[in-house]
Structure 1
Amino acid sequence: MFALRVAFRYLTANRVQSGLLIGGVALSVIVFVFMTALIRGLALFLTVQTTGQIAHVEMEPPRRIAEVMGPDARFAAQPISTFQRQQIRNWQLMVDQAEQLDHVVAVVPEVNGNGFLVRGTAVAPIALQGIDPSQIDAIIPLSKSIIDGSADLSTGGLLIGAELAEDLGLRAGVPVILRSDRGIERLIPVTGIFRIGLSNVDRRVAYLSIAVARPLLALPNGVTSVSIKLDDPALAPLIAEQLKRQLPLKVTAWQEKNRNLETALESQGRTGNFIQAFALIAIMISIASALLLTSVRRRGEIGIMRSFGISRGFVASVFVFQGVIIGLAGSLIGSALGYRLCLFLSEGITGPDGGPLLPIAPAEGGYVLVIVLTVVGSAISAILPAQAAARLDPVEAIQQ
């Protein structure tokens, strides 16, 4: 195509200017790729960190409501408050039904309650979680977080967090008095001490066998909740909706209990979009200004072409092609360099903990998107110079 050849000749005629233009575009693309990979990587990191330590879907007994006859003969709903702990009595049927759903990795029945650990005069409140010892790692990888002792709950011991152990001066093998919120007391040994990295877990949560938890919490048959782990945490709302339609339980996806995280990630994403938009605007402005300057410098050549009968559309297409070439070359170079930069920061530099210095996801740099947006933006930014060049009067252009 002749217009494309002319556009390429114009660009190669002034290689320094063209090189600076392409370099500027590439630099803006690197910023775009880096910010996209960083924001998406941070979102993935926070999501994995959060979902790796919690159940993705949780089933609990529905809140019981008592209907009370009011003075105007209408029923008023009031929550029931009794000493009897709410529980799921036919929990095995619920577990079997949940296990049949796609994407479900593990279904863990739990007996939960509150209590106190007592050692001498020191008393620490705790949240008790009774689980099957064979499912110790189904929700949280506790066995990988053990720093003292073991994660084996089959012997009737207790797993506590490192911060709680420090507060009470406990270590693996030391017995401690466990007093449940039902007033039941038992001397129980500390089987292991874990460090998850979340203060609310390391200081406030204790795990024990469900068989030991039942008599302590006065729940001989039922369970207080059923936790579900999925192969894809993003599917939690969908699975929760399916379970709500099938089971008479309160079903909650992890996103509902972590609204603050979701809001923070959305705000972070919007901030990244602003930065990306500014990078694209900078690309468009630099290309438009450079091509406008080119149209002024080549007024004579444009006038000669127009005097030989070259159409305005041809002249305009030459400048649009220049913008497209600059945008395509700059975006390809910038994408390649941006990927190498993200790869280096994620693998080549380690932080104090031995992990990546920054939670960058090189594969999430939005490379196709930035190439398309840059090429389209470059073509759009070339329209103004193209129109200015096409409107030149050939006689005036040659005389100047």
Structure 2
Amino acid sequence: MPNVSVSADGGYLTLSEPSRSARFHAIWLRDNAWDAQTRAPGNGQRLITLSDIPRGTRIAAAAIAGSSLRVTFAPEGKSVDYDRDWLFAQSYDHPQDRQAGWTAEGVETWDASLMQSVPCGDFTEVSANPAALQRWLAGVARYGFAKLVNGPVEDGALMKVVELFGYVRETNYGRHFEVRTTVNPTNLAYTGLGLQAHTDNPYRDPVPTVQVLYCLESSAAGGENMVVDGFRAAERLHGEDPEGFGILTRYCARFEYAGEAGVRLRSRRPMIELAPDGEMIAVRFNNRSAAAITDVPFDQMEHYYAAYRRLGEIIDDPAMEVTFRLNPGECFVVDNTRVLHARKGYSGTGTRWLQGCYADKDGLLSRLAALETMEAAE
């Protein structure tokens, strides 16, 4: 049977069930009340500020009421019902000593072994079927990227992909940019040089968090796309050299772009970014856009560069890469805060035409969460 007990001073309660137990403070419970005077019924936004809650709020009484927990607060004399499952889902009563570099629930890091099951969706299906769209977006959220096939072969088709989950983020490159090359073997044997795996636009703050690359022509040999999980690369570095991992998280790199008139973009961020509690939240790696590193102390600079070099070697390791060829009407969506992308070299006759654009992850995750909520309600 469920049970609730209140501490002697009313500062917190303990909610216990046969398989779970958690403590909740009075101020936390009052701040997270869902009654109509505290939260707007339509959108759930708070109607009060913390200063509207009396200082010294305490729990006067608490009792189980079916699937709910009823709590009465003093000095207000206000009673609020809480869904017990909701409370346990929001519980903060657990150890907080996680190792630096942990990843959020639902994030799955990967290496070349993912080549056997690259997350992929069908454009027609995800456009018409919410369940298929949910599965495809869930793949992006879990792995940091996913392909989409059988799309229209038409100029600007990538905008239809972004419309599935969010909005285009316009930059100085425009709403989209062209990646078009004509291979001419009479000049060079390999005119399409490969690119090292990188994240895009690290010189922006904030960076575009989603990138779409859409193929319209692909008749040249080679030019396969490649993705590398930056989180897995950082995990490998941490396993080999915890101090090197730490130094790349503690000190900022600098990135810069000044490739066109009137534009001078600069940012200052760590190559491996952690939240204050140690969660890995971003990787920025782009040698072409790296500016002089000036925020590392003199006595740490050599160690910093050693860790930087090793991270690059891990990223370049073929055991880390997933490679695939995009054909006309195919694209991939990549989490630009996590997954690095690259292009293999290409040669021979033919053309290669891709279009790219940026969007933001908040829209993608919002669409996914809404679809998951809809499924749960059915």
TM-score of the two chains, using structure 1 as the length reference: 0.23
Between structure 1 and structure 2, the one with the greater Rg is 1
Q: Greater strand percent: which structure?
A: 2
TM-score of the two chains, using structure 2 as the length reference: 0.24
Q: Greater helix percent: which structure?
A: 1
Structure with bigger RCO (C-alpha 8 Å, 6+ apart)? 1
